[in-house]
Amino acid sequence: MHQRQAWKVLTPVLLQIATAQQVTDLSTYSWTLQNEVGNISIPARIPSYAHLDLQANNVVGQLEYGLNDFDLRWIWMQNWTYSTVLSDLSSSAAQTYLLFQGLDTFTSIELCGQHVASTNNQFRQYYLDVSDILSDCNESPLLSINFGSAPQIAEDIANEPGQEMWPYGTEIPGPAYAPAGPWQPAYAVQLGQSQVHPRNVLVDIYKQGQRNNLIPDQDQPWVMNASIDVLGTLPDGASLSYTVKDASNGTVVSGNLADVNQTDSVVTGSITIPKDSVDLWWPVGMGPQTLYYVTIDVMSASNQAIASVTRRVGFRTIVLNETPVTDDQIALGIAPGNNWHFEINGHPFYAKGSNFIPPDVFWPRVNASTTRTLLNSVVAGNQNMLRVWSSGAYSPDFMYDIADELGILLWSEFEFGDALYPVNPEFLSNVYEEAVYQVRRVNHHPSLAYWAGGNELENLELPTANESDPERFPQLLAEYEQLFLTTLFPAVFENTRSISYAPSSTSNGFISLNFTDPPYFQERYDNTTGGIYGETDYYNYDSSVAFNTSAYPVGRFSNEFGYHSMPSLQTWRQYIPDDQLSFNSTHVIYRNRHYPPGSLNTTNYANTSKGMGEMTLAAQRWYPTPHKSDSIANFSAWCWTTQVFQAEYYGSQIQFYRRGSGLPQRTLGSLYWQLEDQWAAPTWAGIEVDGRWKVLHYRARDLYQNVVVSPFFDESTRELEVWVTSDLWEGVSGAVDATWYFWNGTEVTNVKGLHGQEVSVGALNSTRVWSVDLGEELAGYDMEDIVLRMSVSATGRRPNNEEKTPFTHTNWFHASRLSEANLVDPGLEISHDQDGQTFTVSAKSGVSAFTWIDYPAGVVVTFDDNGFWLGKGESKRLGYNVTGDTTGGAWVQGVTVQSLWNNTLDD
Ligand SMILES: *[C@@H]1O[C@H](CO)[C@@H](O)[C@H](O)[C@H]1NC(C)=O
Ligand SMILES: *[C@@H]1O[C@H](CO)[C@@H](O)[C@H](O)[C@H]1NC(C)=O
Ligand SMILES: *[C@@H]1O[C@H](CO)[C@@H](O)[C@H](O)[C@H]1NC(C)=O
Ligand SMILES: *[C@@H]1O[C@H](CO)[C@@H](O)[C@H](O)[C@H]1NC(C)=O
Ligand SMILES: *[C@@H]1O[C@H](CO)[C@@H](O)[C@H](O)[C@H]1NC(C)=O
Ligand SMILES: *[C@@H]1O[C@H](CO)[C@@H](O)[C@H](O)[C@H]1NC(C)=O
Ligand SMILES: *[C@@H]1O[C@H](CO)[C@@H](O)[C@H](O)[C@H]1NC(C)=O
Ligand SMILES: *[C@@H]1O[C@H](CO)[C@@H](O)[C@H](O)[C@H]1NC(C)=O
């Protein structure tokens, strides 16, 4: 622990430095963590959470293990104090600030025995002038930050008279650790006379004349607006000089920003940049991710540089187009209503992706390296957009940085979801400060695609409130508009012109928009007669209709859909004891949060059992279910089977939403729920907590290719259609084959199929290539015996690419439920080629459904494909990517291959 020094004892060296600006990272100090009860006092670090320091000091074990989510709740039921002595700060600075990038959440801060501030917002930057306290400090300057219990304080606030409540109880939809602590970096900033320190920087790049949510004119020059928030007082007559450099640090443009405007703490200026002097930034698959460095120097009236900031930027326009469908669009077959899609640099595109949740309950453990690994899986999964769901945290800069480099668009949200919020002036101004800080902080990133006010408020919560309490509804609606329109929208448009805003995901869009007076948007709400409007969000846990496409929502963009599945045995094993490795064990049930318990009650089994039942029923309904004699192997096979259902269900919806690009709904987005896990539990994730891909991530990767061939079967009419869908920006043409096989791999003769059927698909479009009555096509055969293999082979051009590229895709259709199919042993074999770093899988004796390459714990291996089908005699050579290998390469010997047929075996 840091030795307490007498404050007055300062070395001459430090006194000299004191005349210059000095920024001290408070993580370099030794900290102490103490609890309210007083029995715990341990060394601590920042950024951190009490939980992490308790684990680091062995006060508690592995935080995520077993039922610790319940057993460690004593931690959040009391206060925790982080303290340190600011021992070597200068005593002669004109001003000293404490700069906190994030305190989670309710704190009381003291320095030298004096109260400095109380904070109550995890997402704000706090900058506290402690100059007077320090100069009066006659002892060692002890800094202490007392964190209250957020759940208890929130409960107290909710119980105050006059607070609004939705008609729902407290829910724990995920792990409930409610961590408290200084979760983001903190600094002491000391300034001499006339010095300033930049605490936040806005760089906004947009087309001249552009306004939020409106389609920019691509022929206009760029405008670059820069605005710097400083600590200290800006001298009168400040100016701003700028340089834009390319990736190899060649200067592209430089000079002084025009229209400079300043207050004591903010200086702003802008400049136009000719359109042709920079290259565009594109999302992955649509062109290069060209990046530039912008440096802005703040100059005093006597032309001294008093501050300098650099931000990496990209030149692009991204807009959410919510304009009415035009007559020209209607003439093309698009249904009337509004548009609801994104356009990059003037081009509509198909958004393919998923929903990102906090990758860890404990954010200080998330870093650039873990984030890059995850985002590499996004790109490998053929995804170009993530919806960063609101109920977590604003993404750190390094996440946007990596997304900028990889070309992943980040739909970002303010942190509101599925709840009713206060609208008193203190709360609204707190929210406004938070929003302004966050909007300015991340705006320079070209990956930033959009700001939404929050999650599931407009199309889900408002109608529910209207139904349950119609008398109070007008007031609730007015409060909704006060927060999401009157407060949040200005926080966006006063700071950026480049980014679109909407009050909620999901919504039906606006009828009109102006920037003069609130409420700015005339909202459409449920006024949707005579057209198709807005986004969809779809969950249906009745697995009997999982593959009935007429149950799926028809909209312009699908931002959420899903079903839960189990993680793999390898992942479970790391988090629960061996005696808990069974489907409905106590640990599995308690870790399941679908459905959430509806309270903090740990013994409420009823809701979670319902979710366990849904997974079980889906597996039983659609697949042969495992009955292995070895109980662990049986558990593993059950986990996998729930993943197969999940993958097939999402796959059915992804193909439906992609085909929608060529139907009147003109659907231009599919973002499934959810990309990844934050712990080991039954969830909707496609990537497990340690990075393993579930069957879903592979299936989505396959179906997010540019050109795909898809079957659509209507069980009531027995009609099968085959469609080819392309999200390329030019037409593609090629041929489609569709061949029927028995499960033993013998081709079915005497049926038509398709043989070299020519197909052309327009830009961002879908074409039906075959429509057949299965009863007629397969007359005389049993559906249980037969499968259809479809393939498309086409050529076309990728966006911004001159070269013609071949596109191929294979897909399978089973004419009966797989639970009833007469599966045969496909005779799978797998071999490893050490030199070529590939595996080869082949099916010797039959059709292999959901061919699955499995590998041991202690490593994450992602294969070029997995969960695929193979025809008899077919083989597939697969490259792979290895991360975090703790087995020294021995995992290769533990690789196995299986398929759905293995579910029919006793061992
Ligand atoms: C707990 O923390 C809150 C917020 O900092 C503070 O208001 C309260 O006084 C603290 N209570 C105790 C017992 O430390
Ligand atoms: C260009 O400058 C930036 C910022 O100063 C630096 O991080 C980067 O490494 C430089 N790049 C090259 C290619 O020199
Ligand atoms: C400078 O900023 C103030 C405050 O935002 C604003 O009222 C004023 O119009 C601005 N002046 C110029 C020249 O942009
Ligand atoms: C737009 O501006 C007018 C006039 O300032 C105002 O009356 C109206 O409520 C505003 N909002 C919308 C959505 O039209
Ligand atoms: C409903 O939407 C139509 C079509 O956009 C619009 O003309 C009409 O004014 C809206 N009605 C209401 C009550 O907002
Ligand atoms: C928790 O739920 C169980 C079963 O519903 C009930 O018996 C028990 O009283 C509840 N406990 C608390 C603390 O609410
Ligand atoms: C798990 O428990 C649920 C709820 O009781 C039940 O419906 C389901 O059949 C069980 N699943 C398995 C695989 O035993
Ligand atoms: C495959 O199954 C079909 C239908 O049962 C049968 O007619 C055919 O002879 C079988 N082929 C082989 C190679 O066993």
Determine which residue's CA is closest to atom 4 belonging to ligand 2.
293
Contact between 224 and 270 (Cβ < 8 Å): yes
Q: What is the pLDDT of residue 375?
A: 98
| Angle 607-609-614 from CA coordinates, rounded to 5° | 100
Q: Where are the domains of the chain?
A: 2-191, 196-313, 705-819, 828-904
d(CA 122, CA 100): 10
- How many angstroms separate the alpha carbon of residue 672 from the centre of ligand 7? 26
Half-sphere exposure of 110 toward its Cβ, with a 13 Å CA cutoff? 12
User: How confident is residue 4, by pLDDT bands cut at 50, 70 and 90?
Assistant: very low
Q: What is the pLDDT of residue 730?
A: 98
Residue 58, pLDDT > 90, answer yes
Identify the residue whose C-alpha is closest to ligand 5 atom 7: 511
**Contact 731/775 with Cβ under 8 angstroms?**
no
Instruction: Please report, rounded to a whole number, the percentage of residues in the chain having pLDDT higher than 70.
Output: 96
Find out whether the beta carbon of 693 lies less than 6 Å from any atom of ligand 1.
no
Classify strands 804-814 and 786-797 as parallel, antiparallel or unpaired: antiparallel
Distance between CA atoms of 758 and 595, rounded to whole angstroms? 48
**How crowded is residue 468: how many other Cβ atoms within 10 Å of its Cβ?**
12
- Active-site residue (options: 110, 434, 456, 614): 456
Supply the pLDDT for residue 169. Answer: 54
Spatial CB neighbours of 371, under 8 Å, sequence gap ≥ 6: 359, 396, 398, 399, 402
**CA nearest ligand 3 atom 14, residue:** 261
Instruction: List the one residue out of 428, 723, 432, 683 whose CA is nearest residue 565.
Output: 683
Q: Is 107 in the pocket of ligand 1 (CB under 6 A)?
A: yes
**Residue 450, φ and ψ in degrees, nearest 5:** 180, 150
Atom number of ligand 3 nearest to Cα 261: 1
456 is catalytic: yes
C-alpha 441/C-alpha 434 separation (Å) is 11
Tokens 């602590």 map to which residue?
Answer: 181
Please state, in angstroms and rounded to a whole number, the distance separating the CA atoms of residues 280 and 286.
11
Verify whether ligand 5 is closer than 6 Å to residue 468 (CB atom). Answer: no
Residue 100 exposed, middle or buried by CB count within 10 Å (0-12, 13-18, 19+): buried
Buried b (16+ CB within 10 A) or exposed e, 658-677: bbbbbbbbbbbbbbbbbbbb
CA distance 891 to 56: 30
Q: How far apart are CA 789 and CA 847, in angstroms?
A: 10
Instruction: Identify the band that residue 170 occupies on the pLDDT scale cut at 50, 70 and 90.
Output: low
Q: First-to-last CA distance in the chain?
A: 57
- Interhelix angle 397-406/425-442, rounded to 10 degrees, is 40
- CA dist 669 and 352 (Å) reads 6
Task: Tell me the average pLDDT across 336-340.
Answer: 98
**Three-state helix/strand/coil letters over 168-204:** CCCCCCCCCCCCCECCCCEEEEEECCCCCEEEEEEEE
Atom index in ligand 2 nearest the CA of residue 248 equals 13
Query: Which residue has better confidence, 52 or 15?
Result: 52
Close Cβ partners of 262 (under 8 Å, ≥ 6 residues apart): 234, 238, 268
pLDDT digits (tens, 9 = 90+) for 692-724: 999 999 999 999 999 999 999 999 999 999 999
- Mutate which of 742, 824, 825 for ligand 8 pocket (most atoms within 8 A of beta carbon): 742
Tokens read off for 823: 């599966």
Cα separation, 341 vs 557, in Å, equals: 7
For ligand 1, say whether the CB of 146 is within 6 Å of any of its atoms: yes
Mean pLDDT score, 165-188: 83
Supply the mean pLDDT for the chain. Answer: 95
CB 134 within 8 A of CB 89: yes
Tell me the CB-side half-sphere exposure of residue 331, using CA atoms within 13 A: 3
Verify whether ligand 8 is closer than 6 Å to residue 742 (CB atom). yes
The predicted pLDDT at position 20 comes to 63
Separation of 612 CA from ligand 6 center, angstroms? 20
Q: CA-to-CA distance for 541 and 480, rounded, in angstroms?
A: 29
**What's the confidence (pLDDT) of residue 772?**
97
pLDDT over 60 (residue 14)? no
Q: Which two tokens stand for residue 10?
A: 């300062």
521 within ligand 4 shell (Cβ under 6 A) = yes
Looking at residue 114, its pLDDT comes to: 97
The answer to whether 635 touches 608, Cβ cutoff 8 Å, is: no
The number of angstroms, rounded, from the C-alpha of 571 to the middle of its chain's C-alpha atoms is: 22
**Which phi and psi (to 5°) does residue 768 adopt?**
-85, 125
Buried b (16+ CB within 10 A) or exposed e, 315-345: bbbbbbbbbebeeebeeeebbebbbbbbbbb
Residue 780: count of CB within 10 angstroms of its CB: 6
Q: Which CATH architecture has domain 828-904?
A: Sandwich (2.60)
Is it true that domain 2-191 has CATH number 2.60.120.260? yes
**Inter-residue contact 348 to 330 (CB < 8 Å):** no
Q: b or e along 77-97 (b: 16 or more beta carbons within 10 Å of the residue's beta carbon)?
A: ebbbbbbbbbbbbbbebebbb
Q: What is the C-alpha separation between 225 and 240, in angstroms, rounded? A: 11
Residues near 665 by beta carbon (within 8 Å), at least 6 away in sequence: 335, 532, 554, 555, 556
Q: State whether residue 712 is helix, strand or coil.
A: strand
Cα(727)–Cα(658) distance, rounded to whole angstroms? 8
The pLDDT-based confidence of 477 (bands split at 50, 70, 90) is very high
Q: Which helix (H) or strand (E) holds 711?
A: strand 707-714
Confidence class of residue 605 from pLDDT cuts 50, 70 and 90?
confident
Overall average pLDDT of the 839-855 stretch: 98
Instruction: Using alpha carbons, select from 722, 687, 742 the residue that is nearest to residue 866.
Output: 687
Query: How many CB atoms neighbour CB 404 within 10 A?
Result: 21
Q: Which amino acid is at 207?
A: K
In this prediction, residue 557 carries a pLDDT of 98
CA-proximal residue: ligand 3, atom 10 (nearest): 261
Give the CA angle between residues 37, 40, 41 to the nearest 5°.
120
Residues in the chain: 907
Residue ID of nearest Cα to ligand 8 atom 9: 746
pLDDT above 60 for 18? no
Kindly state the tokens that stand for 52. Answer: 């992490």
Helix axes 397-406, 368-380, angle to 10 degrees: 30
Closest ligand 6 atom, residue 601 Cα: 1
Measure Cα distances from 851 to 603, 745, 833, 880 in Å. Answer: 39, 15, 19, 16
Which of 543, 565, 584, 642 is the best mutation target for the ligand 7 pocket, counting ligand atoms within 8 Å of the beta carbon and taking the most?
A: 584
Record the pTM.
0.96
Residue 261 Cβ < 6 Å to ligand 3: yes
| C-beta 512 within 6 A of ligand 5 | no
CA distance 416 to 407: 26
Pairing mode, strands 142-147 and 521-523 = unpaired
The yes-or-no verdict on residue 802 having pLDDT over 80 is yes
Q: Which atom of ligand 5 is nearest to the CA of 525?
A: 14
For the domain spanning 196-313, the CATH number is 2.60.40.10
| Residue 511 CB less than 6 A away from ligand 5 | yes
What ligand is nearest to the CA atom of residue 845?
Answer: 8
Cβ neighbours, 10 Å, residue 842: 20
Packing angle of the helix pair 695-703, 631-659 (nearest 10 deg): 20
Q: Are strands 521-523 and 669-672 parallel, antiparallel or unpaired?
A: unpaired
Tell me which of 527, 529, 533 to substitute to probe ligand 5's pocket, judged by most ligand atoms within 8 Å of the beta carbon.
Answer: 527
CATH of region 705-819: 2.60.40.10
From the CA of 145, give the closest atom in ligand 1.
Answer: 5
Amino acid at 282: W
Rounded-to-integer distance, Cα 438 and Cα 449, Å: 14
Here the contacts of 159-164 (C-beta below 8 Å, separation 24 or greater) are 163/422, 164/420, 164/421, 164/422, 164/476, 164/479
pLDDT for 662-680, tens place per residue?
Answer: 999 999 999 999 999 999 9
**Pairwise CA distance, residues 851 & 302, whole Å:** 72
In short, whether 612's Cβ falls inside 6 Å of ligand 7 is: yes
pLDDT > 70? residue 50: yes
Q: Please report how the helices 631-659 and 606-622 are oriented relative to each other, as an axis angle in degrees rounded to 10.
A: 80
Q: What is the pLDDT of residues 206-245, one digit of tens each?
A: 999 999 999 999 999 999 999 999 999 999 999 999 999 9
Is the distance from the beta carbon of residue 248 to the nearest atom of ligand 2 less than 6 Å?
yes
Q: Is 616 in the pocket of ligand 7 (CB under 6 A)?
A: yes
Residue pair 85/143 in contact (Cβ under 8 Å)? The answer is: yes
Cβ atoms of 850 and 841 closer than 8 Å: no
Residue 805 contacts residue 796 (beta carbons within 8 Å): yes
Give buried/exposed letters for 472-495 (b at 16+ CB in 10 A, else e). ebeebeeebbbbbbbbbbbbbbeb
- Residue 636's alpha-carbon distances to 98, 857, 862, in angstroms, are 52, 13, 19
Ligand 6 pocket test target in 602, 604, 610 with most atoms within 8 Å of CB: 604
Copy the structure tokens of residue 15. Answer: 């006194």
DSSP 8-state code for residue 900: G
Strand ranges for 704-837 from DSSP E: 707-714, 719-726, 732-742, 754-761, 765-773, 786-797, 804-814, 828-833
Supply the residue whose CA is at minimum distance from atom 14 of ligand 6: 601
Rg (CA), the chain: 29
